[in-house]
Amino acid sequence: MSNVKKILIIRLSALGDILLTTPVIRSLKNKYPDSEIDFLLKKEYSDTLKFNPYINNLLFYGNNFHQTKYDIIIDLQNNLLSKKIISKLNSRLGKTKVYRFHKPQLQKFMLVNFKINLYKKILQIPEMYAASIPDLALDDKGLDLFLGDYGYVELEGGEYIGIAPGSRHFTKRYPLNYFADLGNLFSSKGFKTLIFGGSSDKIICKELENRIPGSINLCNYNQLLLTGRYMNKCKFIVTNDSGLMHVASALQKPIIALFGSSVKEFGFVPYKTKNLLLENNSLSCRPCSHYGREECPKKHFNCMMKLIPSLVYQKTIEFMEI
């Protein structure tokens, strides 16, 4: 791989998964400083890499980009769609060496369905991505999110904390009334709460704003760079296992991560940033899913319900030494 000049990385979605590729992008550029790196993704996630200096071209799925011959293609999606894209590239321009993300499908299946843990070592997703590429060593830095000159944001004086109450699936979401109680506990400590979310979180963020007097609802229509600017104002972020957790990680913000149906074996814990992961390890039913579910299959939802606000508050105070 000494003559590598053109590299294509494919990871089409989603927010967190793309941010988790950034240590690989940076390490590839360090290994091949004279190479050009292109990245293929869906356009709605372009802000994740818009200002990334290690990338030469952002390519959007659905556009005509099949004109460049690459020395290597790195498929970090590794599904039928990404394989179809690569097949089309190879048919037009000749076969290219492909490295694919090796998903631990058997380990996930056995852990979710039979609670048999075959993971010999817990690796984080960037480490799994890097392991798919021969002789690629990651550095000791975290995720990258470059905000560019998106615009200055200003808030009144005071200390702010962030709450990101959303997540795609119900079993990954801390109960809204718990988030409200938690926000009010932090208010009693003198903190002001900033509420973060995307277009799918509008309703819960508005409800949370109503339940935490003095909070500021910064939920928007997936304006990632603006969200990042405001997150930088926070002392720490309380979040579910979600894309915004990885945004906070990329900004090197201390994170209080609330894990319901998720477990750290899947690799999606905050990467190389100060964090406290709170979960209920007394349950035999976790994890009930790799992606998350729309309801608790046991009907009790104790993976989240037992993480009562007073407990989360006390653990956070101790962790942050405030």
Beta-ladder partners of 276: 256
Helix (H) or strand (E) holding 131: helix 125-131
At 184, give phi and psi (nearest 5°). -70, -30
Q: Is the pTM of this model over 0.85?
A: yes
3-state secondary structure of 28: helix
In CATH, the number for domain 159-320 is: 3.40.50.2000
Q: What is the DSSP letter of 61?
A: B
Give me the average pLDDT of each 10-residue run along the chain (322 residues).
88 98 98 97 97 97 82 97 93 88 97 97 97 97 92 83 97 98 98 97 98 97 96 97 98 98 97 98 97 97 98 98 90
Helices and strands of the chain, counted as H and E runs = 11, 11
Residue corresponding to tokens 């995720």: 143
Domain chopping of the chain, boundaries: 6-131, 159-320
Closest CA to 289 of 300, 277, 281, 297: 297
pLDDT at 126: 98
| Spatial separation of the C-alpha atoms in residues 108 and 95, rounded to whole Å | 32
Beta-ladder partners of 62: none
Fold of the CATH domain 6-131: Rossmann fold (3.40.50)
pLDDT at 165: 98
pLDDT at 195: 98
pLDDT at 150: 66
Could you tell me the strand order of the sheet in which 275-279 lies? 216-217, 191-195, 159-164, 234-240, 255-259, 275-279
